[in-house]
Amino acid sequence: MSAITSAANANKRSANNQIHSSRRTLLHRSLAIPVCGALLFTAACGGSSSSPSVKTNPGSNVLAISVNAGPAGNYANGAFASVTVCAPGTSTCQTVNDVLVDTGSSGLRILSSVLTATLPAQKAGDGNPVVECLPFITGYTWGPVQTADIELAGEKAGSVPIQVVSDTAYPVPTDCADFGTSVDTLSSLGANGILGVGSFIQDCGPACVSTGSSNPGLYYECPASGCVVVGEALAQQVANPVASFSADNNGVLIELPAAGSPENSLNGSLIFGIGTQSNNALGTAQVYSVDDYGDFVTTYKSQTYNQSFIDSGSNGLYFLGSGDTGLPVCADADYFYCPSTTQTLSATNSGATGSPSGAVSFSVANADDLFNNNPNATVFGQLAGPNSLGFDWGLPFFYGRNIFTAIQGKSTPGGTGPYWAY
Amino acid sequence: MSCLPPVQARRYSSFRSSAKLALRATFLATTLVFIALPAFAGLGEDVSSVQADQAHMQGSLRTTQAQAYTLHEIQAPTGTVVREYVSSSGKVFAVAWQGPWPPDMRQILANYFTPYQQAAQARANLHTGRSPLTISQPGLIVQSGGHMRSFAGRAYIPEMLPQGVSAEAIR
């Protein structure tokens, strides 16, 4: 069976387990948060993606995450969590399940098709709605910017701009479509949304504030006559909600257990704050600085790759190409490696400034075998594929390794962010 | 960024000296585009299309001669760099990009944009998850990766790679 069809088949089968894996998430959450009472359980933990709920979870900085097939039933190595959004200043809230936890981006994005809560639209100075085009590698998300109070476990971020992803609310401008293809639906996104908790505060940053040729063209205002690019103030941009918490706001820690062999699901925690509570101390973790682009350095076979990064939102260990590694890609899926036997490799990660350095041992299995031999699995610690210009340490890198992502400009016991530590 | 061949760098034009000059030059370049250049620019097109891409990106252009090709590097005001590799027969056989945001893919992939878009859509709908993008078709290879605020990639026509030029050299 091919890697592609087997993955699809496997994931269809996995879809049957969705209810069960959701229950496991709930169970884990209730175990992980002992203060979680009956009211909390139904409100914070029990909402479907469409049921309005009122949620409180005072004090907890631990959000349960689960690696499973996701809401489309076909995800491999995706960490999902529940996110509650409320109309600002109200108790009118909705808990959205199955939102992808992504340290490679910043800001909350929710598919309009699963959002039932009514949130206020952000307006430009002239009253027109603001709509965003955000390019990702696999495609762009398009949709209006709205404002929400965001509740994650016991933490709350007030009045944060989010993106409501929809390719029908406003026509996609040509300049946005020219980025490639849209990932605006459940089937193309594989998640109900993306929770971007990366090292940047805003998704775009200063480049989008200015007008003129240096603006990359991510924010538009959309009068009836058509959408045009606008300058968007930093405070108006879609932003990492963690940075807006009143406490535990300097970064996140992701904890997931090791997964030496494929598993059907894996439960872990997204913990807010670095060195702010007893459960998020840096301990012996090494701090790796990142550059202005959010990258650090990986060295492999004496070659340095300075566009390397750690990203919970990438679903494999992606690095270099067959020409550099000698690893063949799968005959039917050239985005995965298919060595005849599992290969154990070594690389060295270094901070963007050159230090510290730490060796990483990792394994690359035959992706066809992984999918074919484990039809119900969604957790693959040895899933790898090519990435032409460096190392993309995706979710498998998080298995069995506690990884901190510090937010830019925020003070932590390990220094000022941005950085990664593990 | 450090991969330019260490040979004969010539700065054809730099629009950075003043905004006024930039405007004038862009206007000139744009005018030239309308007069003389093909509608399509980028991958698979004639070397003259590089100027159309430069005008579209409102960028500065630096040209470097390597042994087997000419490298045209366009630096956009957004910080994104596009490199277009032109063979001795005057065709753009490869493009590479790097920067905080992706370039206008339709512009730099020219007639290859539609196959790229279709392959990317098919890949998204297969959905085993979010990953770098690899497209391998007869006559077109695209490799794209990175994350928010750091994008990089390459696209090339394998049959048009000059002898002795590896895909790894395109970056």
Helices B113-126, A3-15: inter-axial angle, 10-degree rounding: 40
Q: What is the pLDDT averaged over residues B155-168?
A: 94
Q: What is the pLDDT averaged over residues B145-171?
A: 94
* Residue A383 pLDDT: 98
Strands (E) across B19-107 are located at 60-65, 70-75, 81-86, 92-99
Give the whole-angstrom CA distance, residue A140 versus residue A127.
Answer: 25
Taking only the tens place, the pLDDT of each residue in A94-134 is 999 999 999 999 999 999 999 999 999 999 999 999 999 99
Compute CA distances A286 → A172, A276, A307, A405, B40, whole Å: 43, 17, 19, 12, 50
Give the whole-angstrom CA distance, residue A256 versus residue A324.
Answer: 30
Please check the confidence at residue B37 and state whether its pLDDT lies above 80.
no
Give the whole-angstrom CA distance, residue A359 versus residue A97.
Answer: 36
Give every CB contact of residue B97 below 8 A, 6+ residues apart in sequence: B80, B81, B82, B83, B103, B108, B151, B152, B153, B154
Nearest chain B CA: its distance from A11 CA (Å) = 8
Residues in A touching B23 (Cβ below 8 Å): none
* Residue B77 pLDDT: 94
Residues in A touching B117 (Cβ below 8 Å): 180-181
Q: Give the best residue of B23, B149, B165, B168 to mutate against chain A (max A CB count within 10 A).
A: B149
Banded pLDDT at B40 (limits 50, 70, 90): low
* Residue B53 pLDDT: 83
Which B residues in the span 74-133 are in contact with A, Cβ-Cβ below 8 Å? 76-80, 98, 100-102, 104-107, 113, 116-117, 120-121, 123-133
Please check the confidence at residue A259 and state whether its pLDDT lies above 80.
yes
The domain segmentation of chain A, as residue ranges, is: 281-421
B167–A321: do the CB atoms touch at under 8 Å?
A: yes
Residues in B touching A388 (Cβ below 8 Å): 132, 143-145, 152-154, 171
Nearest chain B CA: its distance from A309 CA (Å) = 8
Banded pLDDT at A138 (limits 50, 70, 90): confident
A390–B136: do the CB atoms touch at under 8 Å?
A: no
* Residue A59 pLDDT: 60
Please check the confidence at residue A8 and state whether its pLDDT lies above 70.
no
- As given in the structure block, the two tokens for residue A15 are 């879809």
* Residue A389 pLDDT: 83
* Residue B30 pLDDT: 43
Considering the domain A281-421, what is its CATH architecture? Beta Barrel (2.40)
* Residue B56 pLDDT: 85
The candidate with the shortest Cα–Cα distance to A338, out of A305, A299, A381, A386, is: A386
Taking only the tens place, the pLDDT of each residue in A65-101 is 999 999 999 999 999 999 999 999 999 999 999 999 9
Banded pLDDT at A162 (limits 50, 70, 90): very high
With a pLDDT cut of 90, the percent of chain B lying above it is: 60
The domain segmentation of chain B, as residue ranges, is: 9-162
Nearest chain B CA: its distance from A380 CA (Å) = 11
With a pLDDT cut of 90, the percent of chain A lying above it is: 83
Instruction: Find, in chain B, the residue whose alpha carbon is nearest to that of A325.
Output: B168
Give the whole-angstrom CA distance, residue A36 versus residue A41.
Answer: 6
Please check the confidence at residue A411 and state whether its pLDDT lies above 60.
yes
Residues in B touching A315 (Cβ below 8 Å): 128-131
How much is the mean pLDDT over chain A? 88
Q: What is the pLDDT averaged over residues B114-141?
A: 89
Whether this prediction's pTM lies above 0.80 is answered by: yes
* Residue B126 pLDDT: 78
Say whether the peptide bond before residue A418 is cis (omega within 30 degrees of 0): yes
Question: Angle at CA B146, nearest 5°, toward B141 and B151?
Answer: 80
A307–B150: do the CB atoms touch at under 8 Å?
A: yes
